[in-house]
Amino acid sequence: MPASSRALWMLLLFCAFLLAGCWDRKAVEDVGFVTVLGIDQGEGEALRITVQIGNPRVIAGGRQGGGGAEGQQAPAMVHTVTGETLSLALRDLETFTNRRISLVQTRVIILGRRLMESGIQKHLGMLVRSREFRRNIQIMVSDGSAEQVMTTRPTLERDPAVFLEDLSRRAFERTARAPRITLHDFLLAYETLGEEVIAPIIRPFTVAPGLEQRPEQQSQLSGTALFRRGTMVGELSETETETLLMLRGKTETFVETVPVPTDPGLKSAYRLTGAGRKIRLDVSGPQPRFTIEVTLEAEALETESESPALGDPALIRDREARLARNLTDKANQLVGKLQTECSCDALGLGHYLRPRFLDWTSWEKYQWPDRFANAKVQVTVRVIIRRVGMTFQSQKAR
Amino acid sequence: MGKQIMDRTGAVCLLVTILVAKMFTPQPRMVAEQAGSAAWLVVLLTGPLSLLGYWGLSALLVRFPGLSIAQISLKALGRVAGAVVGILYAAYFIWMGGVMLREFVAGFRVAVLPSTPVSVLAMGILVIGLYAAVKGPEVQARLAAYLIPGMAVLLAITVVGVWRLLDWRQLTPVFGYSLRNTLLLSFPLTSKHSEILVLGVLAPLLPTASVRRLGLSALLAGYVGQVLFLLFLGSVFPFPAMSRLFYPMLELTRMIEVSEFIQRIEALFIFLWFFVAAFAMATLITTIASIIRDVTETTLFNPFALSASLLMFTIAFIPFNQVELMWLDWLTLRTWGWAFSFGLPILTLAVAVLRGKRGENGETPETRAG
pLDDT digits (tens, 9 = 90+) for A113-143: 999 999 888 888 778 888 888 888 999 999 9
With CB atoms and an 8 Å threshold, state whether A358 touches B37: no
Q: Which residue among A136, A184, A359 places its CB closest to the CB of B173?
A: A359
Per-residue pLDDT tens digits for B249-296: 888 888 887 766 777 777 778 888 888 899 999 999 999 999 999 999
Q: Measure the CA dihedral A57/A59/A65/A69, to 10°.
A: 50
Q: Residue A183: which residues within 8 A CB-CB, separation 6 or more?
A: A109, A127, A133, A134, A135, A136, A137, A139
If you average pLDDT over residues B230-254, what whole number do you get? Answer: 87
Nearest Cβ partner of A192 from B110, B165, B238?
A: B238
Q: Are A265 and A298 in contact (CB under 8 A)?
A: no
Residues of A in contact with B175 (CB under 8 A): 358-359
Residue A240 to residue A243: CA distance in whole angstroms: 5
Percent of chain B at pLDDT exceeding 90? 56
B178 touches chain A (CB under 8 A): yes
List phi, psi (to 5°) of A48: -105, 120
How does DSSP classify residue B237? S
pLDDT of residue A215: 65
Residues of B in contact with A352 (CB under 8 A): 169
A169 at the B interface (CB within 8 A)?
no
Q: Among all residues of chain A, which has the CA nearest to that of B36?
A: A360
CB contact B127 to A (< 8 Å): no
pLDDT number for residue B346: 95
Q: How confident is the model at residue B366 (pLDDT cuts 50, 70, 90)?
A: very low
Complex ipTM > 0.85: no
The answer to whether the Cβ–Cβ distance between B169 and A187 falls below 8 Å is no
List of chain A residues whose C-beta atoms are within 8 Å of the C-beta of residue B241: 187-188, 191-192
Tell whether B128 is within 8 A of chain A (Cβ).
no
pLDDT tens-digit series, residues B9-44: 999 999 999 999 888 888 888 899 999 999 999 999
Mean pLDDT of B148-154: 88
| B 229-248 residues inside an 8 A Cβ radius of A | 238-241, 244
Q: Is B26 on the interface with A (CB under 8 A)?
A: no
pLDDT greater than 60 at residue B63: yes
pLDDT of residue A326: 93
Q: Residue A185 has what pLDDT?
A: 92
Please provide the average confidence, as pLDDT, over all residues in chain B: 88
Q: Does A192 touch chain B (CB under 8 A)?
A: yes
pLDDT score at B368: 40
Tell me the H-state helices in chain B. Answer: 8-20, 27-35, 39-63, 69-77, 79-111, 118-135, 137-161, 179-186, 199-202, 208-236, 241-244, 248-254, 266-296, 302-316, 322-329, 335-338, 344-355, 365-369
Mean pLDDT throughout B99-117? Answer: 86
The helix (run of H) or strand (run of E) holding residue B258 is strand B257-258
Do residue B240 and residue A131 have CB atoms under 8 angstroms apart?
Answer: no
pLDDT greater than 70 at residue B357: yes
Is A351 at the interface with chain B, CB within 8 A? yes
The pTM score is 0.86
Q: Tell whether A3 is within 8 A of chain B (Cβ).
A: no
Could you give the CA distance from residue B237 to residue B240 in angstroms, rounded to a whole number?
8
State which residues of chain A have pLDDT below 70.
1, 17-26, 58-72, 210-215, 306-310, 394-398
Residue B271 neighbours by CB distance under 10 Å:
11
Residues of chain B with Cβ-Cβ distance to A24 below 8 Å are 113, 115-116
Q: In Å, how far is A192's CA from the nearest CA of chain B? A: 7
- Size of the A and B interface in Cβ pairs below 8 Å: 65
pLDDT at residue A62, rounded to an integer: 54
Structure confidence at residue B369 (pLDDT): 41
- Using the beta-carbon criterion (under 8 Å), do A357 and B173 form an inter-chain contact? yes
Q: Does B37 touch chain A (CB under 8 A)?
A: yes
| Rounded-to-integer distance, Cα A157 and Cα A144, Å | 23
| Touching A: B residues 255-274, CB under 8 Å | 255, 257
pLDDT for the residue numbered A69: 53
pLDDT on residue B67: 92
Q: Does A131 touch chain B (CB under 8 A)?
A: yes
Nearest chain B residue (CA) to A349: B169
Strands (E), chain A: 31-41, 47-54, 76-83, 100-102, 108-112, 138-142, 198-207, 216-228, 231-236, 253-260, 263-282, 289-303, 376-387
